Amino acid sequence: MQFTVAIDGPAAAGKGTISKAVAAAFGFAHLDTGLLYRAVGAKTLDGMDAVTAAETLDPVDLENDALRTSAVAQAASKVAVIPEVRSALIAFQQSFARRTGGAVLDGRDIGTVICPDADVKLFVTASAECRAERRFLELSSKNPETTREQVLADVIARDKRDSERATAPLKPADDAVMIDTSDMSIDEAIKAACDAINAAR
């Protein structure tokens, strides 16, 4: 059985947490497509050309613990605007989406570009302030010098870059189910996602 769930949304909206929970609940495979761009971004920080990094990406590269740093996140957002990088990674994602047993992919252009024919499309969002607070709590535990102001500025800058890029901008698919997690608990957000998937099965 093939069943594809596309989950898109901006940084720190909760789509990663929701995607993992949904995949576990339905027994689907899960791919955090943002990790692909983070892996490419990490390689550029080491001096590799972005297109070369994308074309030679290995699944092992996705297991690097350093991919969650703020520096890599910013690098990922920068390489994601390069059309040749996106083209190199599309086949990887589309192949994953078609795997037998069902698949959940989360990112920024899954429902609009990677899997426009996905069985279910969700767009998970939250206010910039809410997302910045979540990211601040995550980052400040590792780096006490992190400030709320800087994190909010980074979130706003990334939103602008992701939504205004010429290739595959961040936006909900026309038929996506919107889930605003600003005032939701994790459990409530996961239930909303699962309800949408059950309705489509």
Binding residues for ATP: 9-17
Asked if residues 29 and 101 have their Cβ atoms less than 8 Å apart, the reply is: yes
Return the beta strands (E) in 46-175 as ranges: 103-107, 120-125
Residues in CB range of 71: below 8 A, 6 or more apart: 45
Q: Which two tokens stand for residue 153?
A: 């500025």
CA angle 39/45/49 to nearest 5° reads: 80
Name 84's Cβ contacts closer than 8 Å, sequence gap at least 6. 50, 51, 54
Q: Which of 6, 131, 3 is nearest to 73 (CA)?
A: 131
CB 8 within 8 A of CB 112: yes
Annotated binding site: 9-17
Three-state SS at 10: coil
CA–CA gap between residue 128 and residue 143 (Å, rounded): 21
Distance CA 129, CA 138 (A): 14
